[in-house]
Amino acid sequence: MRTLTKKLALVEPGTLFVGIDLGLDKNVAVVIREHAARLSRFSFPNDRSGYQYLRHRLNNLKSKYETHNILVGMEPTAFIWKLLATELEEHHISYCLVNSYTVKKHREGDQLDRSKDDNRDAFTIADLIRTGKYTETQLLRGVYAELRELVTLHDRLKRDFARQKTLLRVSVNQLFPELRTVFKDLTGKTATAMLRNHASARVVRQLTQEAFIKAVSADLRGQRLSIKKLKKAHALASDSVGLCNGVETLQLAVRLHIDTLGILDAQLKQVRTNLEINARSIPGIEHLLSVPKLGIVTAATILAEIGDPNNYTRIQQWIKLAGLQPVSNTSGRRSRSLTPISRKGRPRLRTAIYFAALRLIQVDADFASRYRAYWQRPKNPLTKMQAVGAMMNKLLRVLWALMKKQVDYNSTLISS
């Protein structure tokens, strides 16, 4: 992660800048010189022939303008940028990424009518990389690429699981709203056995207590269940305000949500197994796992977001990547006394560090002592949330030391 000055210093005279506006069916490329003069504009599809055409046009431009230096820029659009980046890497063509928000604001600054089209976006991207306003993000390789995909898949399955639990709760609340006082978790064995065919209070109160328990036991297929909770549910059903119309369809919805939750749970276990196998193959992962309460999923998430630690030279790069660096907010006479963190980095990395820091505050005496010192100090005390932010920063520094020095966690790292 170089500064703007260093990026510009690396650009040799005569370099051609290629801005590419990516699209699912068609990509638009605009080529400019170091003084923003446009040299060429063309489009190409996302397939082998399209990429070959791109290389052909770039080679012709290099010959025409007698240069060997080309820098390609693009936005990180969905998965499409990975396809083009792979092609560029295979043919040793330099590329970089431009933040989509930066492209939008830069284009609006140049075009007061805020008009937008692919050609204008491609030129804006080319102009931004010409002036050094790009990131040096590159494709992950090997186990880090696998880990990034596994963590992404794991997060998606977790969101799907949580959504299905919410939908299940909504359906059950319509059929038997009082049931939430019996089962705090509707995905437990006794709860799912009952809900599969007896989610409606109207259906339950039509059965005797003995017949109800026997029917639920049959649905549980020989596993142990909580008779006490079933008796309480049967008693509540007699005076429930649950719906009496649309019951069959709501019961079907409950059954489908339970089946989907079972499938998602099995998928999550499979992904976690693969995630753990990949994470444990990374050199130095055992040092991260020596941090108290830092589980394998959290450690894998951190490494998946950071990538190969050897690609970084300073801890500040990790801090900026997580969006934890303090930022100022002043204008004229207005000045905020607080300097909040930027929150401009990778949100998944920041979330993982946040919960890891909270757990460490609870279980590690030295970490907790440093946390209390931030908000109990007599001069310029931090709020508790600001102190948590400071400890997130400290935890990243600790993880940096563990990976770089290849040592296990110890209390001396907190004071360093």
Q: What is the C-alpha to C-alpha distance for residues 39 and 191, in angstroms, rounded to an integer?
A: 68
Task: Spell out a b/e string for 164-195, using b for 16 or more CB atoms within 10 Å of the CB, else e.
Answer: bbebbbebbebbbebbeebbeebbeebbbbbb
Q: What is the C-alpha to C-alpha distance for residues 322 and 342, in angstroms, rounded to an integer?
A: 9
- Domain annotation covers residue 17: yes
- Domain annotation covers residue 66: yes
Residues 227 and 316 in one domain: no
**Amino acid, res. 75:** E
Residues 18 and 135 in one domain: yes
Domain boundary among 109, 139, 169: 139
Query: What digits encode the pLDDT tens for the residues 96-121?
Result: 999 998 999 888 887 766 677 889 99
Asked whether the whole model's pTM tops 0.75, one would answer yes
Residues 366 and 381 in one domain: yes
Domain boundary among 139, 162, 186: 139
- Domain annotation covers residue 128: yes
Residue 222's pLDDT is what? 64
Average pLDDT over residues 318-346: 77
- Domain annotation covers residue 224: yes
Residues 23 and 107 in one domain: yes
Q: What is the C-alpha to C-alpha distance for residues 125 and 30, in angstroms, rounded to an integer?
A: 9
Residues 216 and 341 in one domain: no
Residues 311 and 196 in one domain: no
- Domain annotation covers residue 323: yes
Range of the domain at 11: 4-139
Average pLDDT over residues 140-166: 96
Average pLDDT over residues 247-266: 97
Q: What is the C-alpha to C-alpha distance for residues 59 and 167, in angstroms, rounded to an integer?
A: 55
Residue 356's pLDDT is what? 96
Q: What is the C-alpha to C-alpha distance for residues 262 and 355, in angstroms, rounded to an integer?
A: 27
Residues 178 and 132 in one domain: no
Q: What is the C-alpha to C-alpha distance for residues 248 and 235, in angstroms, rounded to an integer?
A: 22
Residue with tokens 């970490």: 367
pLDDT for 207 beyond 60: yes
> Per the structure, how many domains does the chain have?
3
Q: What is the C-alpha to C-alpha distance for residues 55 and 67, in angstroms, rounded to an integer?
A: 15
Nearest to 205 by CA among 183, 167, 236: 236
Q: What is the C-alpha to C-alpha distance for residues 257 and 251, in angstroms, rounded to an integer?
A: 10
Residues 87 and 202 in one domain: no
Residues 154 and 95 in one domain: no
Q: What is the C-alpha to C-alpha distance for residues 277 and 282, in angstroms, rounded to an integer?
A: 9
- Domain annotation covers residue 210: yes
Q: Which residues pair with 94 in a beta bridge?
A: 71
Residues 173 and 121 in one domain: no
Domain boundary among 91, 123, 139: 139
- CATH number of the domain to which 254 belongs: 1.10.287.4070
- Domain annotation covers residue 280: no
- CATH number of the domain to which 30 belongs: 3.30.420.140
Three-state DSSP string of the chain: CCCHHHHHHHCCCCCEEEEEECCCCEEEEEEECCCCCEEEEEEEECCHHHHHHHHHHHHHHHHHCCCCCEEEEECCCCCHHHHHHHHHHHCCCEEEECCHHHHHHHHHHHCCCCCCCHHHHHHHHHHHHHCCCCECCCCCCHHHHHHHHHHHHHHHHHHHHHHHHHHHHHHHHHHCHHHHHCCCCCCCHHHHHHHHHHCCHHHHHCCCHHHHHHHHHHHHCCCCCCHHHHHHHHHHHCCCCCCCCCHHHHHHHHHHHHHHHHHHHHHHHHHHHHHHHHHHCCCCHHHHCCCCCCCHHHHHHHHHHHCCHHHCCCHHHHHHHHCCCECCCEECCEECCCCCECCCCCHHHHHHHHHHHHHHHHHCHHHHHHHHHHHHCCCCCCCHHHHHHHHHHHHHHHHHHHHHHCCCCCCHHHHC
pLDDT for 127 beyond 60: yes
Residue 28's pLDDT is what? 97
pLDDT for 337 beyond 60: no
Measured between alpha carbons, how far is residue 201 from residues 171, 211, 228, 251 in Å?
12, 15, 17, 11
Residues 310 and 408 in one domain: yes
Give the percent of the chain with pLDDT over 70: 95
- Domain annotation covers residue 152: yes
Q: Which residues pair with 31 in a beta bridge?
A: 18, 40
- pLDDT confidence of 57, banded at 50, 70, 90? very high
| Residue 74, phi then psi, degrees to nearest 5 | -160, 160
Query: What digits encode the pLDDT tens for the residues 342-356?
Result: 888 899 999 999 999
Report residue 75 as tokens. Answer: 């936005």
Residues 32 and 85 in one domain: yes
pLDDT for 199 beyond 70: yes
Residue with tokens 């992950």: 140
